[in-house]
Structure 1
């Protein structure tokens, strides 16, 4: 009684804590709704309102920001936003540590490392292998034994001694990148951002719920913030070179007719004037939209579409040879495009040096803030440290005398190039001005304050979800939750009567505990997470079913209601079965938690929390309610007049039908293997790499016609109806492994142009790409997975499945003290997985919903493994119990009896879980339908295999002779 009182006290305290934690979510949602009403659809106004009350105390002494931090975190699929995995370039870090050496063996090792990288092998390990294979001495002075590292690396060190030092240096650089990104994100102002290092892979996960401007976010994350200050050349200083280069190119390039170039500027500046008609039809000058006027910091304006061609010309060895000695180290750099004129850009020529290092870099910047220049236009002001101030004074003084300009270059793009007309600038104060928007100056100041990344950060995986889609997901998820939960509650009352009603009360407490735990632990609720909760409800019923069925058996054996109830809650009664069944499911949830990412990790989290709370509420809360009922002398029969005789006195010879079952399973397995080897699986971009877009139109569209238009643009693309006929899922591998935010923008623009004729004429590119509240058309969700990370995902998924099978085998072998139990369970589970794979392989071209093999599918497979094991373990547990009590010397009869006595539990649990899953399948939304279908099929097959595969295999491997010995041994004991 004392222990019961303690548990009751703990349950009440936990319930109160959950209510308190959940109250933050209700308050935050209420304030957010007030902000929406106040803003009346103006997103920026809404954000400004919420920012303004961030530090105000709004609830129990907590500020609004604290309230938001304590609410349930919604995942991107519910909230909308951006999820990316950034790969910090370890190659660039190594190049920096080696002081950008020209050592050919070192650079070859870098190239070989990328080419030969195996599976989940880190790039740095692949580099060490390549270096050792080529006998490269890492401690050489022109490798890592340079002056930057001479305090830790000595010339006489072996490669084995150098390797851990370099690994540590790389790790420090990645951690530095992590801190830089964290500062940028913190200052960006996104609610509840999540940023974390992913092991030692050099990858960083960034989740920004609610973020809407896709291109802006990607630019913020990927910019290295390499700020440099360079002196510029004027048109009159490079004009002769341009003309000479143009004459050379005329001899080697075939030039199409172009419009005559405006030559007034170049005519007035060049001392040796050439034939302008020839220039107009030339490969180089003919592409100029306008040459610069005298004194301008740039030399000409070009179309952005021609920049790649111009770059190619300027990199040619024969063109470079034309540079006069005073221009031999010149750098050609493009300027920043503007929002008003995104299709044109200026070309600058910077005064380089032999070592290609800028006279002054951004490392001297100690502060930066967005401001406005003397003309009232957005700008960024910067403050330098002491050394920077002195250098800045020298540079500006020299430039002022020469009449040139200083180019302010960020990540190899000229942002502005102001002249210096009033002599040297003292104090280290400078300003970047130009054609900026207010958002651009905020982001630029943010980036400069946070500092530069030690190496490029490239997006290798991304997922963008619009808030409208998130809202739809919440509605569909909650609808499936309510329907599934309602059906389970109804069935429990229909089947178990008053005790079923009490179990429902425990289920309600369970829901409170699950959501309270999610809020308390800061876990993220996702759409698969909601599915996990609904599935947990179905599985939570299982523990109550086991208890009630056991109590019914004891009542039939002549015990009183109190005695039957007490016995059902003992270890020999139902507890051992409940623990074994839930431990096997928990194992798969833990493996999902370790190997999964994003929504899958959310599913695993809720499933794991649900397992713990379900066991607690079934074992303790249900017990407290039943004890309360019995103390009031209420009559509990654990059945109703309708269901009282169901499943009683069954004597089905399951083992006698094993040959039929084996034959059916053999046909299904052979069918699955045949389909898998001939037709294969519909692998999603998670496993093969690529880009996917969920695009919604204002009317029904033809998927084949759209696919034809996309192939013209991307070379290879697929378009499939996704849910409704006005929505398509578009997949392409176009430039998926090319790096840079500019590439993603280029792909988005091509997609927009290819689909434009099917979209509303008023829809702009920004509306098509970016997310906003109430969005009806355009990209609703976008994902990108590079080829490199897709291999890792596939490898991790394989290990997750195999690892779960191995761990479960070990657990069951230890728990049941015989390897045959673990072996039989694993055989049955492998049978289930193979059949699910076969069904997905054969039917993916026929069924009208997404049946891709992706991370969500792997989560479904692991869930099937857990559920199938749950069923099997219940039967095995009953076999073990019968052996303990030696109810029959006939091992085969004993096994059959175990199957018959647990059949009501098997059918009840499977039925309630299937009802829940069918509700999710119908009402849960398109994005989760394939995932739920896999679990549905798996549970049907798993229930069958528990009865007709796992137990017969266990019986056959033990054998009748050995089984008789086991029974006789128990009898003697």
Structure 2
């Protein structure tokens, strides 16, 4: 063997590099084990311990701290570590509207609406869709009529063509997207998560964010979706707004009853305000303030006071004998039934509005109804255009049920706040001097400091509302003007909330809103279970393969085992060095690599056995065996590599994780199987040690077999045809079970403390998932693994534009599950928006189509005959159809998930790769035999070639099936359907390479010869 020294040098260097990278994982594991021992099961104590170790040197050999070592450890994916995976879509629509100065032009509005419709059906970027919508709706209208504004006149000419305007819009949209990406990256880095991943998704307006280990999903959603639009507003006093609310309440009653109410409230004096309705509110509504409360004369209703008021209001004994029912009160006062006005009884016994800008408060569950009423055109007309009503960001009572409604004063013509957050130069979490409560300290630039001084000076004695993303975080009274540009946001913050808001302000605001269109959340306990089950399947599969190779090939098998272990070490080292996350599908990719990497050794050893049987000496047989096997090894691995690369390019999430480890595994397994085993053989030969490629049990196996594959091809056609026809019948009558990856929606994996019936769970959820229009979207409930675990799927609010839609759906879920009176835990959840689902369908189709085209072209290139390429493609279609047929026939029958989702597409493409791998090896032997036996009958020669590959086919397929069976049995419920698809695919792929692909080549070749003969 030539260049042994060079190969040994490379192996040593690669091993040292992998050892260095993996050592960080060992160091970090030691520190985290100490943290667990220290905390005695207290998560907070464990977190504090690790925080204290952040800057401590824990890897003294190289001088790395714990934080630095953590960044370099083997990166575990969300399904193994727990955390969140989020896909955000930047709203380029808002950028386009801003460039048009929010034009209300009718044509422009119709173009925007049409672009929205196109977005649902296409994965093109928004600007391209906007251009298409403009051509369709506006036809010949010039875009400059909309986009040539005061702000844009320096960027585009008045006479600019539509193409030039689109180029301008595209440039601005790309700039906004890039700035949004940078803002999000800054926010994520400030969030303090170890090994976060944020990346732009090619050819889209989307950004992928992976945050391993995070537990507070609400904080993450706020962090990522909040535009960080900070505004400082002047406010109205409650006394100014209450008369309008009272009149709106009366107006609303008439509108809801279908008639205008005759009752008109005079608002000439404060005394006239306190009408019968006010007394009813104070005395009769169970959810409102009690008559025993005293006048609140501060701008802010303190938390403890509000709690007392609510408690008193729930005391039904104090309501008197003439109490109206809640239904009657709601009928008479529809607005005040859901919005409690801030009116109080003073010391003299009369009622009047409280001081400050808080005009009322409402249960969180009623805020949507309040918004609905206040948005009605007839109600809006009763309020001045300069009045804007905003909710507080946090509940203001112990039970966390009530939000306050704050009256904002809009003085500017453009509707902008007097001061915005772009003047903030720094922000950080601090503690108030009085009471030590968490607050946010802000520093402003010179312009901001000057404007802030002017605003506070003109509002001494009044309140200023501090608003972030249209929610009021604080509305303090101004006691004196504030100079210097340093100020604080006070509110009922926790330390974490104050840090989060400070980080958002520090990172800056998003140029365009970003909405979560896809989300996956995995709880830490489920992640730990995935690690345990993944490692179990991994170890069992590895041991089986190692034992089998020694059993079948003797000492040569031991050499392949050494190479296989080295291969695993290299794969993990490469993953650690490239910071590619190891996921559960990634473990499946590694385990599958174990089975497939055996193929290279099997091909080599079978060739060596043939050379030894021909009477060659050991050294020459080994040399020729390697040489003759290279062609098959190259073709088999290149086709699998092409499939893996396509998966990597088109896939996201679990598909991408699987593809990455598969591709890395192909390279490392090729190196290990060819070079490491060759070095071991060379060492044994140099030391006069014997090399065996069989044992007493396997010597002579598969010799003198003469199965008639070609002769019986029609029987194979009939058998496969029947299977496919049954499958087509199942498709037509039963269909397939599509996951939310293809339909859109939300799924929740819920585990109970005892076994449950899916019908009972469905019934408990039925009344919770009802839309505003009364449509019942009862979720689908399936057992997932054990009987104490269910998978709940719903499309409820999946099209909602509300930023808190995810929280609303989870609230409905918990509301329904609570009726079962059982302890439960939401182990994981996933959300896929409709546009994402369409994109997944599209990318899956193109991934499969592209892989087939690439494989066909490669085979035609390698074998120089189109018949080989077409035979391989027919076999692939055959395999895919049978796998789909089995999934259609058996879903709902087998006790595990057979959903068609992204993981299934990964399985199908892997089956394609494996099938073509097997087929190429068979074709390679056929090509060799046809070259050696040119005068023999073609059918006989091909049949002999097929029989000569049986030993290799059996060993490779059997080892791969063993591996997949272990994943299926022990890999965990999340991956069981994926493993089943691979298991079926490998069995069918092995069959098709011998019984379908080759016979098709024979028939095509015969037909071609007949045509030439004519």
TM-score by length of 1: 0.93
Q: CA deviation at 1:11?
A: 1.4
Equivalence for 1:355: 414
Give the whole-Å Cα distance in 2 for the aligned partners of 1:41 and 1:144.
61
Change beyond 3 A, Cα 1:267–1:57:
farther
Q: Are positions 1:433 and 2:434 aligned together? A: no
Q: Higher mean Cα deviation, 170-179 or 668-677?
A: 668-677
* Conservation of the 8 A alpha-carbon contact between 2:764 and 2:820: no
Q: Quick one: which of 427, 440, 443 aligns to 1:368?
A: 427
Q: Are positions 1:227 and 2:230 aligned together? A: yes
Unaligned stretches of 5+ residues in structure 2: 259-266, 285-328, 344-352, 770-776
Equivalence for 1:291: 342
Q: Are positions 1:481 and 2:538 aligned together? A: yes
Q: Are positions 1:451 and 2:454 aligned together? A: no
Q: Which string of whole-angstrom CA distances, capped at 9 and with x for unpartnered residues, describes residues 652-679 of structure 1?
A: 2210010100110111111122211221
Q: Report the secondary structure of 1:656's partner residue.
A: coil
Q: Which string of whole-angstrom CA distances, capped at 9 and with x for unpartnered residues, describes residues 377-402 of structure 1?
A: 211111111111111111111111xx
Give the whole-Å Cα distance in 1 for the aligned partners of 2:153 and 2:141.
12
* Conservation of the 8 A alpha-carbon contact between 1:227 and 1:408: yes
Give the whole-Å Cα distance in 2 for the aligned partners of 1:789 and 1:98.
28
Change beyond 3 A, Cα 1:685–1:287:
closer
Q: CA deviation at 1:246?
A: 2.2
Query: Within 5 Å, which residues of 2 pair with 1:868-907?
Result: 868-886=915-933, 888-907=935-954
* Conservation of the 8 A alpha-carbon contact between 1:352 and 1:358: yes
* Conservation of the 8 A alpha-carbon contact between 1:337 and 1:343: no
Give the whole-Å Cα distance in 1 for the aligned partners of 2:271 and 2:864.
93
Give the whole-Å Cα distance in 2 for the aligned partners of 1:267 and 1:846.
74
Q: Could you say what the CA RMSD is over the residues aligned between the two structures, in angstroms?
A: 2.1
Give the whole-Å Cα distance in 2 for the aligned partners of 1:650 and 1:299.
91
Q: Report the secondary structure of 2:88's partner residue.
A: strand
Change beyond 3 A, Cα 1:965–1:69:
farther
Q: Report the secondary structure of 1:525's partner residue.
A: coil
Give the whole-Å Cα distance in 2 for the aligned partners of 1:140 and 1:683.
43
Q: CA deviation at 1:375?
A: 2.9
Equivalence for 1:379: 439
Change beyond 3 A, Cα 1:287–1:881:
closer
Q: Higher mean Cα deviation, 750-759 or 842-851?
A: 750-759
Q: Are positions 1:85 and 2:145 aligned together? A: no
* Conservation of the 8 A alpha-carbon contact between 2:339 and 2:370: no
Give the whole-Å Cα distance in 2 for the aligned partners of 1:615 and 1:739.
50
Q: CA deviation at 1:965?
A: 10
Give the whole-Å Cα distance in 1 for the aligned partners of 2:97 and 2:494.
35
Change beyond 3 A, Cα 1:684–1:742:
same
Equivalence for 1:769: none
Change beyond 3 A, Cα 1:509–1:287:
closer
Q: Are positions 1:346 and 2:347 aligned together? A: no
Equivalence for 2:468: 410
Give the whole-Å Cα distance in 1 for the aligned partners of 2:855 and 2:666.
16
- Between the two proteins, the alignment pairs up a number of residues equal to 934
Equivalence for 1:696: 751
Q: CA deviation at 1:960?
A: 7.7
Give the whole-Å Cα distance in 1 for the aligned partners of 2:593 and 2:1012.
40
Equivalence for 1:523: 580
Q: Report the secondary structure of 1:823's partner residue.
A: helix
Equivalence for 1:144: 147
Q: Higher mean Cα deviation, 929-938 or 734-743?
A: 734-743
* Conservation of the 8 A alpha-carbon contact between 2:341 and 2:359: no
Unaligned stretches of 5+ residues in structure 1: 256-265, 762-776, 967-973
Q: Report the secondary structure of 1:724's partner residue.
A: coil
Give the whole-Å Cα distance in 2 for the aligned partners of 1:309 and 1:786.
25
Give the whole-Å Cα distance in 1 for the aligned partners of 2:54 and 2:269.
58
Change beyond 3 A, Cα 1:547–1:413:
same
Q: Higher mean Cα deviation, 312-321 or 346-355?
A: 312-321
* Conservation of the 8 A alpha-carbon contact between 2:144 and 2:165: no
Q: CA deviation at 1:138?
A: 8.1
* Conservation of the 8 A alpha-carbon contact between 1:651 and 1:897: yes
Give the whole-Å Cα distance in 1 for the aligned partners of 2:203 and 2:626.
47
* Conservation of the 8 A alpha-carbon contact between 1:466 and 1:781: yes
Equivalence for 1:669: 724
Q: CA deviation at 1:462?
A: 0.5
Equivalence for 1:557: 614
Equivalence for 2:556: 499
Q: Report the secondary structure of 2:829's partner residue.
A: strand
Equivalence for 1:786: 833
Equivalence for 1:633: 688
Q: CA deviation at 1:884?
A: 3.0
Q: Higher mean Cα deviation, 405-414 or 349-358?
A: 349-358
Give the whole-Å Cα distance in 2 for the aligned partners of 1:225 and 1:466.
28
Change beyond 3 A, Cα 1:142–1:928:
same
Q: CA deviation at 1:234?
A: 0.8
Q: CA deviation at 1:47?
A: 2.4
Give the whole-Å Cα distance in 1 for the aligned partners of 2:532 and 2:141.
58
Q: Are positions 1:660 and 2:718 aligned together? A: no
Q: Report the secondary structure of 2:879's partner residue.
A: helix
Change beyond 3 A, Cα 1:319–1:965:
closer
Give the whole-Å Cα distance in 2 for the aligned partners of 1:479 and 1:307.
50
Q: Which string of whole-angstrom CA distances, capped at 9 and with x for unpartnered residues, describes residues 763-798 of structure 1?
A: xxxxxxxxxxxxxx4110100001110010011011
* Conservation of the 8 A alpha-carbon contact between 1:138 and 1:145: no
* Conservation of the 8 A alpha-carbon contact between 2:227 and 2:512: yes
Q: Report the secondary structure of 1:73's partner residue.
A: coil
Give the whole-Å Cα distance in 1 for the aligned partners of 2:576 and 2:18.
8
Change beyond 3 A, Cα 1:560–1:224:
same
Q: Which string of whole-angstrom CA distances, capped at 9 and with x for unpartnered residues, describes residues 305-324 of structure 1?
A: 2222222222222223333x
Q: Quick one: which of 595, 599, 605 aligns to 1:538?
A: 595
Q: Report the secondary structure of 2:171's partner residue.
A: helix
Give the whole-Å Cα distance in 2 for the aligned partners of 1:273 and 1:86.
50
Q: CA deviation at 1:136?
A: 6.4
Q: Report the secondary structure of 2:484's partner residue.
A: coil
Q: Higher mean Cα deviation, 683-692 or 506-515?
A: 506-515
Change beyond 3 A, Cα 1:961–1:793:
closer
Q: Which string of whole-angstrom CA distances, capped at 9 and with x for unpartnered residues, describes residues 729-767 of structure 1?
A: 111111112134421111111111211244556xxxxxx
Change beyond 3 A, Cα 1:140–1:823:
closer
Q: CA deviation at 1:432?
A: 1.1
TM-score by length of 2: 0.90
Q: CA deviation at 1:962?
A: 4.0
Q: CA deviation at 1:337?
A: 2.3
Q: CA deviation at 1:277?
A: 4.6
Q: Report the secondary structure of 2:233's partner residue.
A: strand
Q: Are positions 1:153 and 2:156 aligned together? A: yes
* Conservation of the 8 A alpha-carbon contact between 1:334 and 1:346: yes
Change beyond 3 A, Cα 1:380–1:707:
same
Q: Report the secondary structure of 2:146's partner residue.
A: coil
Q: Which string of whole-angstrom CA distances, capped at 9 and with x for unpartnered residues, describes residues 256-314 of structure 1?
A: xxxxxxxxxx9996554312356663122343435155322211222222222222222
Q: Which string of whole-angstrom CA distances, capped at 9 and with x for unpartnered residues, describes residues 356-386 of structure 1?
A: 1111111111111111223322111111111
Q: CA deviation at 1:231?
A: 0.7
Equivalence for 1:911: 958
Change beyond 3 A, Cα 1:269–1:369:
farther
Change beyond 3 A, Cα 1:363–1:961:
closer
Equivalence for 2:778: 716
* Conservation of the 8 A alpha-carbon contact between 2:228 and 2:469: yes
Equivalence for 2:900: 853
Give the whole-Å Cα distance in 2 for the aligned partners of 1:502 and 1:125.
57
Give the whole-Å Cα distance in 2 for the aligned partners of 1:926 and 1:864.
20
Give the whole-Å Cα distance in 2 for the aligned partners of 1:684 and 1:140.
42
Give the whole-Å Cα distance in 1 for the aligned partners of 2:394 and 2:72.
41
* Conservation of the 8 A alpha-carbon contact between 2:126 and 2:205: no
Give the whole-Å Cα distance in 2 for the aligned partners of 1:965 and 1:548.
41
Q: Report the secondary structure of 1:699's partner residue.
A: coil
Q: Are positions 1:197 and 2:220 aligned together? A: no
Q: Higher mean Cα deviation, 162-171 or 859-868?
A: 162-171
Q: CA deviation at 1:15?
A: 1.5
* Conservation of the 8 A alpha-carbon contact between 1:139 and 1:145: no
Equivalence for 1:725: 787
* Conservation of the 8 A alpha-carbon contact between 2:249 and 2:334: yes
Equivalence for 1:840: 887
Q: CA deviation at 1:254?
A: 4.8
